[in-house]
Structure formats: structure tokens, C-alpha cells
Amino acid sequence: MGEETIALNRKARHEYTIDDSFEAGIVLTGTEIKSIRAHKVNLADAYVRIDRGEAWMFGMHIAPWETGNRYNHEAKRTRKLLLHRAEITQLLSRTKQKGQTMIPLKLYLTGRGRAKVEVGLARGKQLHDRRRDIADRDSRRDVARELADIQRGRG
């Protein structure tokens, strides 16, 4: 009974270099957790900011619950992240000093049913860095394909 990945932010690894990552809890309402368990989440435009000593996630889209009533949640509301005070001060200092940003990488449910977010400290990639990453990935794929052909006796 391990963790279940609900949503990945694929765009984050393409556009940013991830230097460090950490785990944070997230404050949700009743209909939000139901939508998360139904995999109705999008992290593509989300980011994390520290405001008045608390961590907040902006831009995460959780679809409203279909059978929700008047107590249904807003899809893109700002959600509070649960972190220790020491973690918040460390993150605040690192983002101020090195010009890094905080972006969510993954949303998952723990074995106990708690929703957690993996947040990464990231630096934006330049266009040439992205091109280099794509070329490296393509060359690794070509090498793996050649090795597989040799092992199968085709090479």
C-alpha cells in the first residue's frame, strides 16, 4: 500500500532545471480531495510562493466535483501548503539568494490517503539548454535501440 501518483508536471522538467525537491502537505476541502482521487487535476500552470511566512500554491486546477452541491470548490483557488517553519525560512532564503523559483512537480496520495505535493526548487532553462537536453535524450534513445537490436541478433 504505497503512494499513488495523481498528476505530474511534465512541463516543469522541460522548462526548468530542478536543483532540489521537497514534500509538502496541502490543505483541501471535501470536494477537492474527491476530485483528486478521480485524477481530475492539472499542475501545468501552478507555482508556489511564500507570503507572510506561509507557503501558497497558485494556479493548480482541480476540477469541481460532478455531484457537488453549493459547497463545491473553485477550480483554481489558492491553496495553502503545509511545511515546517524551518523549511519555509530555508526556502525563502534560497529563492531570494539564487533567483530560484518553486514549482510543483508531482501530486500524489500517500498510503494513508493524504494528498501531498512534491515541490521543486528550480532555475529556468535557456533555449540552448533545452535543445541540448533534447539532443541528449535522442542520442540515449538511439544507443538503447542499437543495443536492443544487437541483443536480438539483428545488428
Report how far apart the first and last C-alpha atoms of the chain are (Å, whole number): 43
Tens-place pLDDT, residues 58-70: 988 888 887 767 7
| Pairwise CA distance, residues 23 & 122, whole Å | 15
Q: List the single range of 57-61, 122-126, 132-136 with lowest mean pLDDT.
A: 122-126
pLDDT of 125 higher than 90? no
What backbone torsions phi and psi does residue 105 show, to the nearest 5 degrees?
-100, -40
Q: Which three-class secondary structure state does DSSP give residue 28?
A: coil
pLDDT of 56 higher than 90? yes
* pLDDT score at 25: 93
Enter the CATH code of domain 4-124: 2.40.280.10
Q: What is the average pLDDT score of the chain?
A: 86
Residue with cell 504505497: 2
* Residues comprising the chain, all counted: 155
Q: Which three-class secondary structure state does DSSP give residue 21?
A: strand
What's the average model confidence in pLDDT over 17-36? 88
Residue 155: which residues within 8 A CB-CB, separation 6 or more?
Answer: 146, 149
Tens-place pLDDT, residues 70-112: 777 777 889 999 999 998 988 888 888 777 888 999 999 998 8
Domain ranges of the chain: 4-124, 126-155
pLDDT of 29 higher than 70? yes
